[in-house]
């Protein structure tokens, strides 16, 4: 015991996200493990962590070409960051080694602490935290996947790319952090920091909200929380983050069954949903009820940014889809107003059958004709009683076999982007999920083309409507 560390967080946690070297304890010598210690080695190699990675293994000389050491004490170089995948009972010794080697951060992937419900294991967790604090070492976890930080080339799972972006994410669950990233990347979201913090024994949600609120690389914050640790501090951190950046939170444990599951998972006390809901409203944060909705709101924050009003023009093929679209948008608090006579007259000039499908929703065959696409969309977008365009489409079922699909997708995405730029109004894309492999490929390609053209993409009309409705709700809370 040298100096007593303060209970309060360090003024900045920046060092946590920028380690120069990493050691991993508890890597299996067996091939083909994608999870645990070996999973971290594989993820860090894949994303291209630029510093040295050291492995700790009692007997193996090397794993995946990386030299192993029997103990942290045997590593000849400085180690900033240690990932623990050892059994919980070995963690106290690993911590002592970390202290001896001046390690700054210990990420405990290791589970088997308070979340087991076992009193002895809860005491062990408390002892580890106390010892780390007095030694000035910060802990991430236990029972978590740790960090994905593109700018530092840190990854918690495979498939996490080095390209950074403006979204910061805080998640009590490693799986939900991983799923968020996995589903968000094809939608064009890129990340500053993604943090899975599990039990939050030392560093807690509040620390990460505070950090992301100050982090210049983070413009939007998304969070998955299971429990309320240190309520007053968490409230303060959420209010602070919500005041300076768009913030969306998925809070689980909203039912008694979910609350019990949260306790089993990360030893979380879920608390009252009403209280949490009230906190979000005060903080100007959006609360959602699914991981999918969390991604959708983040896409709206990132690509739509602002809606001047709730009036949407719906454009796309299919009468049944149009009717359901109008219902879904209205249910999300948006409006699908009839277009004015002058707008309808303009649309009638480009459509064969000047009928009712140009009132709003718009569903005319002119969309599928050469040059008809933009000349149908443009009058709709520039209509005086319209604030945004929702274009819906889908691939598969043989429809995409017509003509050169690739070039059609490219020109459509470009024309949609031009409509957005020229009209000055958001153009939002809804793509129905595909039912066949060819359609899946086209969906992914169009999704990619759209976000690269700065268009918000959603996996369906209802999802787009819900996200736009929440964006308006957020604007109202912030008087925007």
- Answer yes or no: are the C-beta atoms of 424 and 305 closer than 8 Å: no
Q: How near is the Cβ of 255 to a second copy at its closest, in Å?
A: 4
Q: Does 465 bind a second copy (CB under 8 A)?
A: no
The number of beta carbons lying within 10 Å of the beta carbon of residue 41 is: 24
Residues in region 273-292 near a second copy by CB under 8 A:
289-291
Nearest to 278 by CA among 253, 249, 300: 249
Which of 141, 379, 396, 426 is close enough to bind a second copy by CB under 8 A?
A: 396
Q: Does 269 bind a second copy (CB under 8 A)?
A: no
- Answer yes or no: are the C-beta atoms of 189 and 295 closer than 8 Å: yes
Q: Does 153 bind a second copy (CB under 8 A)?
A: no
- Answer yes or no: are the C-beta atoms of 307 and 281 closer than 8 Å: no
Residues in region 194-223 near a second copy by CB under 8 A:
none
Residues in region 34-63 near a second copy by CB under 8 A:
34
Q: Which stretch binds a second copy (CB under 8 A): 2-10, 96-104, 252-260, 275-283?
A: 252-260
Q: Does 406 bind a second copy (CB under 8 A)?
A: no
Q: Which stretch binds a second copy (CB under 8 A): 20-28, 134-142, 146-154, 311-319?
A: 311-319
Q: Does 399 bind a second copy (CB under 8 A)?
A: yes
Q: Which stretch binds a second copy (CB under 8 A): 6-14, 161-169, 177-185, 340-348?
A: 177-185
Nearer to a second copy, 401 or 479 (CB): 401
Q: Does 93 bind a second copy (CB under 8 A)?
A: no
Q: Does 126 bind a second copy (CB under 8 A)?
A: no
Q: Does 182 bind a second copy (CB under 8 A)?
A: yes
Nearer to a second copy, 12 or 264 (CB): 264
Q: Which stretch binds a second copy (CB under 8 A): 15-23, 78-86, 130-138, 399-407?
A: 399-407
Q: Which stretch binds a second copy (CB under 8 A): 6-14, 19-27, 153-161, 214-222?
A: 153-161
Q: Does 188 bind a second copy (CB under 8 A)?
A: no
Nearer to a second copy, 235 or 322 (CB): 322
Nearest to 142 by CA among 212, 91, 208: 91
Q: How near is the Cβ of 476 to a second copy at its closest, in Å?
A: 20
- Answer yes or no: are the C-beta atoms of 133 and 186 closer than 8 Å: no
Q: How near is the Cβ of 178 to a second copy at its closest, in Å?
A: 7
Q: Does 295 bind a second copy (CB under 8 A)?
A: no
Q: Which stretch binds a second copy (CB under 8 A): 53-61, 73-81, 114-122, 470-478?
A: 114-122
Residues in region 317-376 near a second copy by CB under 8 A:
317-331, 335-338, 353, 355-357, 359, 361, 363
Nearer to a second copy, 137 or 155 (CB): 155
Residues in region 2-31 near a second copy by CB under 8 A:
none
Q: Which residues make beta-bridge pairs with 107?
A: 83, 140
Q: How near is the Cβ of 329 to a second copy at its closest, in Å?
A: 7
Which of 111, 170, 222, 427 is close enough to bind a second copy by CB under 8 A?
A: 111
Q: Does 142 bind a second copy (CB under 8 A)?
A: no
């Amino acid at each position: 015991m040298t100096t007593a560390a303060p209970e309060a967080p360090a003024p900045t946690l920046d060092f946590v996200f920028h380690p120069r070297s990493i050691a991993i304890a508890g890597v299996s010598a067996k091939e083909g493990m994608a999870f645990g210690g070996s999973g971290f080695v594989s993820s860090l190699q894949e994303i291209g962590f630029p510093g040295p990675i050291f492995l700790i293994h009692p007997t193996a000389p090397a794993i995946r070409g990386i030299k192993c050491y029997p103990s942290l004490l045997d590593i000849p170089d400085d180690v900033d960051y240690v990932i623990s995948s050892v059994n919980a009972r070995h963690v106290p010794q690993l911590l002592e080694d970390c202290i001896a080697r001046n390690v700054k951060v210990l990420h405990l992937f290791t589970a088997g602490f308070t979340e087991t419900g076992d009193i002895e294991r809860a005491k062990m967790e408390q002892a580890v935290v106390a010892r780390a604090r007095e030694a000035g070492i910060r802990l991430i976890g236990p029972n978590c996947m740790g960090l994905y930080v593109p700018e530092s080339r840190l990854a918690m799972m495979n498939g996490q790319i080095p390209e950074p972006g403006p979204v910061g994410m805080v998640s009590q669950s490693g799986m939900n952090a991983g799923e968020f990233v996995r589903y968000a990347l094809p939608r064009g979201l890129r990340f500053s920091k993604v943090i899975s913090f599990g039990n939050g024994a030392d560093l807690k949600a509040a620390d990460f909200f505070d950090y992301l609120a100050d982090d210049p690389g983070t413009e939007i914050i998304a969070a998955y929380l299971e429990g309320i640790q240190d309520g007053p501090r968490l409230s303060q951190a959420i209010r602070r983050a919500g005041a300076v950046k768009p913030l969306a939170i998925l809070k689980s444990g909203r039912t008694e069954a979910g609350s019990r599951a949260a306790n089993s998972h990360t030893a979380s006390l879920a608390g009252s949903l009403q209280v949490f809901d009230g906190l979000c409203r005060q903080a100007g944060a959006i609360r959602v009820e699914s991981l999918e909705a969390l991604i959708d709101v983040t896409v709206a924050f990132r690509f739509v940014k602002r809606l001047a009003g709730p009036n949407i023009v719906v454009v796309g093929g299919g009468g049944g889809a149009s009717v359901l679209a109008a219902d879904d948008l209205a249910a999300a608090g948006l409006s699908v107003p009839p277009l004015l006579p002058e707008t309808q007259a303009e649309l009638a000039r480009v459509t064969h059958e000047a009928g009712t499908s140009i009132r709003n929703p718009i569903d005319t065959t002119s969309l599928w004709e050469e040059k008809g696409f933009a000349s149908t969309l443009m009058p709709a977008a520039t209509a005086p009683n319209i604030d945004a365009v929702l274009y819906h489409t889908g691939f598969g079922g043989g429809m995409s076999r017509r003509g050169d699909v690739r070039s059609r997708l490219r020109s459509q995405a470009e024309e949609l982007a031009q409509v957005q730029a020229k009209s000055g109004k958001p153009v939002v894309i809804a793509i129905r999920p595909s039912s066949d492999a060819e359609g899946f490929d086209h969906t992914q390609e169009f999704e990619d083309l759209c976000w690269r053209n700065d268009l918000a993409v959603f996996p369906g009309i209802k999802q787009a409507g819900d996200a736009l409705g929440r964006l308006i709700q957020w604007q109202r809370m912030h008087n925007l």
